[in-house]
Amino acid sequence: MRKARWLATWQDSTSKPVIYHCISRVVDRRFVFAERECEAFRMYARMYENFSGCRILSYCLMSNHFHLLLEVPPMAEGGLGDEGLLSRLSALYSEAFVAGVAAELADARKSGHDARLAEIHARFSYRMHDLSEFMKGLLIRFTRWFNRTHNRTGTLWEERFKSVIVESGTAARTMAAYIDLNPVRAGMVKDPAEYRWSSYGEAVGGGARGNGKKAREGLVRAYFCDQGVGFEAGKWQEVSRLYRRMMGLALGKKPGRTEVSRSEKGLGQTTRNTAEMLECKGNETVLKDLGTAKMLRCRIRYFTDGAVIGSKEFVNEAFASARDRFGPKRKDGARAMRGSGGHAKGVLWSIRDLRVRI
């Protein structure tokens, strides 16, 4: 019997959001995400984002899987008003459908049926501000489109999606960069700005529809969420500079351009402009160890299978609140990262003590 998904204990908080790293793979690891499929998936993801109230901070669509860094904020105290509900519905449903719901609401208000009003709202609100409902809706909607387009039937996804609870601050910044560096690790591009189907690529180059504002807002939030900064696209220039440093990329004169070189054998791509990274040592924009950029260019299993990622205090708090998930011999939760995640040791911790393929 599989365990229930690990959700943050404060998921029902009225003020504290939860950040999750979500991963799902295509059945049989088939390569199905070509340009048309990526565009459709991103469209549905933005639709569900607008409907659900959840926000995509970072994402990357690869040939046979995808990554989302998703923030799930609490529902506003008192719930949505009628206008708010109708606005959310318009992101997902036709004008005729939304008009029908509006007529139902107007009729219930006119007759003073509070219970009827609550029922209409509940019909949709249970799918909002909820991780599982967001992912369920997105994956089902995309699967239906894909099967219809490719004349196929059946499931498209290998298994239920994975999710990791991510602390705001250093963990969220690091996870966002790790996600955006997927195509670099795969050898598809040298600079993540050159990859169209990622949050950073969209933020720099803009999508087919729009100018990348949503992606910029998400990365600003991912970078500064622990400092009370919201989805403020105006802070993109500052975040872009810091984010590129974190990924180990020198700042070029043109957005999204960089110079990278092959350093010592085994170190992979590193920035020529080491001074750029040294400037941010100790200012909380990157991990204290300047090996972060090298680390993020490796596959880090903790980021997909670690269950909870964050500071030692954050992970131990999650452990204490879910003590029943572990055996009696386990005394605390935080486990230092090893292997490819070793550069984060002492800064980021995992609740799972992984021993192979790390």
| DSSP conformation letters of 207-251 | -SSS-SHHHHHHHHHHHHGGGT--S-GGGHHHHHHHHHHHTT---
Which pLDDT belongs to residue 332?
A: 85
Among 8-22, 131-145, 224-238, 284-298, the range scoring the smallest mean pLDDT is 284-298
Q: Give the integer Cα–Cα distance in Å for 98 and 192.
A: 39
Return the half-sphere exposure (C-beta side, CA atoms, 13 A cut-off) of residue 299. 9
Does residue 138 register a pLDDT over 60?
yes
For 139-154, how does the pLDDT look when each residue is reduced to its tens digit (9 = 90+)? 999 999 999 999 999 9
Query: In the structure encoding, which two tokens stand for residue 194, read together?
Result: 């050159």
The whole-number average pLDDT for the span 250-261 is: 42
What confidence tier does 358 reach under pLDDT thresholds 50, 70, 90?
low
Q: Side by side, which strands form the sheet with 55-61?
A: 55-61, 65-72, 18-25, 162-166, 308-310, 349-350, 335-336
The whole-number average pLDDT for the span 67-77 is: 92
Amino acid letter at 102?
A: A
3-state SS class at 349 = strand
* The residue to which tokens 């009696």 are assigned: 328
Does residue 253 register a pLDDT over 70?
no
Which pLDDT belongs to residue 273?
A: 42
More confident residue, 266 or 108: 108
Q: Report the topology of domain 18-73+155-350.
A: Alpha-Beta Plaits (3.30.70)
Which pLDDT belongs to residue 11?
A: 59
The percent of residues above 70 in pLDDT, for the chain, comes to: 83
Q: What is the largest CA-CA distance in the chain?
A: 75
**Residue 48 near residue 41 (C-beta atoms within 8 A):** no
The neighbour count for residue 323, using CB atoms within 10 Å, is 10
Compute the radius of gyration of the chain from its Cα atoms.
Answer: 21
More confident residue, 161 or 345: 161
Which pLDDT belongs to residue 210?
A: 56
3-state SS class at 41 = helix
Does residue 281 register a pLDDT over 80?
no
Q: What is the mean pLDDT of the chain?
A: 84
Beta strands in the chain (DSSP E): 18-25, 55-61, 65-72, 162-166, 260-262, 269-271, 308-310, 335-336, 349-350
Does residue 333 register a pLDDT over 80?
yes
What confidence tier does 357 reach under pLDDT thresholds 50, 70, 90?
low
Which pLDDT belongs to residue 320?
A: 87
β-sheet bridge partners, residue 335: 350
More confident residue, 321 or 105: 105
Under DSSP, the state recorded for 165 is: E
Q: Give the integer Cα–Cα distance in Å for 306 and 349.
A: 9
The residue extents of the domains of the chain are 18-73+155-350, 82-125
What confidence tier does 57 reach under pLDDT thresholds 50, 70, 90?
very high
Which pLDDT belongs to residue 188?
A: 93
Which pLDDT belongs to residue 207?
A: 53
Query: In the structure encoding, which two tokens stand for residue 124, read together?
Result: 């949709």
Sequence-separated (6 or more) residues with CB below 8 Å from residue 192: 180, 181, 183, 184, 198, 200, 201, 247, 249
Among 60-74, 174-188, 266-280, 339-353, the range scoring the smallest mean pLDDT is 266-280
Sequence-separated (6 or more) residues with CB below 8 Å from residue 247: 177, 180, 181, 192, 293, 296
Which pLDDT belongs to residue 242?
A: 87
What confidence tier does 294 reach under pLDDT thresholds 50, 70, 90?
confident
Does residue 212 register a pLDDT over 90?
no
